[in-house]
């Protein structure tokens, strides 16, 4: 009986992915799953919302990804007095040439850290909508394209609400996924302390790849095979969140698209060139949970958004018998 080798990504792409994960892991210790989820978003041309308590490495994650990938990095500290033009840039009159010229804002970078995004007013938060959705900004009627690759990494504290403005649904829906890092294990925390006893590891971090490699990985991720049955599986999960009795608003079609793209990138990180249902299940909660709007009664009962997505995954049957056909079609 002969066996067929499982299709895999090219050696060059696999090597690039391993270098990125390993390099970021020198700074973000013990959080390999979170790092890989962030890379899923990056390779899917998406943006991430890192929601966690202070001091667990949210900012460090953004900086280490930017340094590792060789991308331009800008940080915006969101505060109540921040203006939209402080993010997008503004047109300034140049007396020498006698006309207005565009002065780019920090959003004109490849990796943009929107630190404590929920501390800015909704008007300033909305300055990122066009950038995140269309990879461009419009200032005084003139559209300016953003660089490639482009990724917004926003952070927020889920516990402190004083002086904050909740992110509107339209803003949340533009985040590819929401992740958290969590506290490290005791041994990992000791390793973190050891690494920072004399210096900060990020000061010694060097790039292990370049933006062109990231663009190539994004293009390769788009080419990963996904069967129609798996697409239907994704839509059924989305529909399950929309019809759930504890939701006022289920996930949008954008969530289905992002879950499809994310499953492709996740499969690529697993060294496969086709998607299986397990890829969808692995990233469904971080991709979908933040888009679910709970009903008032569900919020009073303390229902969790992640639990809604988890229930949807349990309710929707996995294309089990068809799963063999999915893999077989991909290897044909």
Q: Where are the domains of the chain?
A: 1-223, 225-332
- At 8, the pLDDT band (50, 70, 90 cuts) reads low
How many residues make up the chain in this entry? 332
- Same fold across 1-223 and 225-332: no
CB environment 236-268: b (16+ within 10 A), e (fewer): ebbebbeebebbeebbbeebbebbbbbbbbbbb
**Fold (CATH) for 225-332:** Helicase, Ruva Protein; domain 3 (1.10.8)
For 172, the token pair is: 């949340």
Q: Which residue's entry shows tokens 């996995």?
A: 318
Name 100's bridge partners. Answer: 93
Is residue 65 within 8 Å of residue 223, measured between CB atoms? no
On the question of a cis peptide bond just before residue 138, with omega within 30 degrees of 0, the verdict is: no
pLDDT at 246 over 90: yes
23-44 residue pLDDT tens: 999 999 989 999 999 999 999 9
For residue 238, the SS3 value is: helix
Q: What is the rounded radius of gyration, in angstroms, for the C-alpha atoms of the chain? A: 21
47-68 residue pLDDT tens: 999 998 888 889 999 999 999 9
For 97, the token pair is: 């040439």
Query: Which among 260, 262, 266, 245 is positioned nearest to 311, based on CA atoms?
Result: 245
Please tell me the predicted confidence (pLDDT) of residue 267.
96
Q: 99: part of which helix (H) or strand (E)?
A: strand 99-104
- At 93, the pLDDT band (50, 70, 90 cuts) reads confident
Q: pTM to 2 decimals?
A: 0.89
Phi, psi values for residue 194, rounded to 5°: -60, -40
**Which CATH code, of 3.40.50.800, 3.40.50.300, 3.30.70.2860, 3.40.50.720, is assigned to 1-223?**
3.40.50.300
117-144 residue pLDDT tens: 999 998 899 889 999 999 999 998 889 9
């Amino acid at each position: 009986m002969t066996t067929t080798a499982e299709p895999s990504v090219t050696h060059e792409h696999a090597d690039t992915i391993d270098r990125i994960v390993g390099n970021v892991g020198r700074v973000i210790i013990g959080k390999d799953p979170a790092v890989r989820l962030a890379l899923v978003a990056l390779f899917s041309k998406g943006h991430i919302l890192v929601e966690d308590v202070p001091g667990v490495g949210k900012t460090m994650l953004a900086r280490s990804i930017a340094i590792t990938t060789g991308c331009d990095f800008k940080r915006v500290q969101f505060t109540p007095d921040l203006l939209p033009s402080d993010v997008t840039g503004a047109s300034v009159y140049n007396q020498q040439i006698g006309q207005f010229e565009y002065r780019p804002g920090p959003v004109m970078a490849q990796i943009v850290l929107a630190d404590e995004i929920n501390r800015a007013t909704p008007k300033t938060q909305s300055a990122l909508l066009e950038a995140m959705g269309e990879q461009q900004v419009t200032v005084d009627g003139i559209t300016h394209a953003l660089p490639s690759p482009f990724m917004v990494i926003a952070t927020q504290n889920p516990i402190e609400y004083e002086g904050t403005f909740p992110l509107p649904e339209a803003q949340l829906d533009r985040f590819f996924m929401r992740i958290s890092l969590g506290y490290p294990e005791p041994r990992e925390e000791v390793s973190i302390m050891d690494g920072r006893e004399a210096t900060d590891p990020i000061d010694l971090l060097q790039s292990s790849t370049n933006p062109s490699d990231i663009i190539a990985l994004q293009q390769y991720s788009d080419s990963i095979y996904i069967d129609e049955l798996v697409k239907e599986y994704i839509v059924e999960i989305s529909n399950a969140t929309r019809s759930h009795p504890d939701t006022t608003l289920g996930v949008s079609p954008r969530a289905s698209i992002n879950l499809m793209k994310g499953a492709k990138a996740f499969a690529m990180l697993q060294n496969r060139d086709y998607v299986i249902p397990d890829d969808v299940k692995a990233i469904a909660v971080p991709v979908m949970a933040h888009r679910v709007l709970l009903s008032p009664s569900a919020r009073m009962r303390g229902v969790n958004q992640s639990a809604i997505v988890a229930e949807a995954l349990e309710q929707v049957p996995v294309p089990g018998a068809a799963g063999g056909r999915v893999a077989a079609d991909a290897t044909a």
